[in-house]
Amino acid sequence: MNILLGANAVSAVASIAFALVGGIRPAALSESGTPTSGERFYGWMYATRGVPLGVAALVAPLAWPGASAALVLCAAAAAQVGDAVIGVTTRKTTMIAGASLLTAIHIATAVTTA
């Protein structure tokens, strides 16, 4: 159980970090030379969703184990599924793998904390 909580914490911190990178340096994630205003806009939109959800996924299993934590972790997993689908449509294997792994970790943590 402690290993799973640790893996969930690392996953949440990684998710927060990528959300911040998306907001601060969107070209780093889109692999474009110079980000357009649209990339910057959507980067910040991603960050405003990703940071609070990542913090919630980090804190919930530790602060409120049970149904509340499971609900938060399922929401975080759903967001990661969306990221994996985006990775599939853009053919970014690292995005597919990372988001799929985070989905699995969040779901496993949700099941064990519920």
Burial code (b: 16+ CB inside 10 Å, e: under 16) for 64-90 equals ebeeebbebbbbbbebbbebbeebeee
Average confidence score pLDDT of the chain: 92
Q: What is the pLDDT of residues 7-47, one digit of tens each?
A: 999 999 999 999 999 899 888 877 778 888 888 898 899 99
pLDDT value, residue 29: 78
What's the domain range around 104? Answer: 2-113
CA-based nearest residue to 49, from 93, 9, 82: 82
Provide the whole-model pTM: 0.88
Q: What's the total number of domains in the chain?
A: 1
Specify the length of the chain in residues. Answer: 114
pLDDT value, residue 4: 93
Say if CB 79 and CB 106 are below 8 A apart: no
How confident is the model over 45-50, as a mean pLDDT?
92
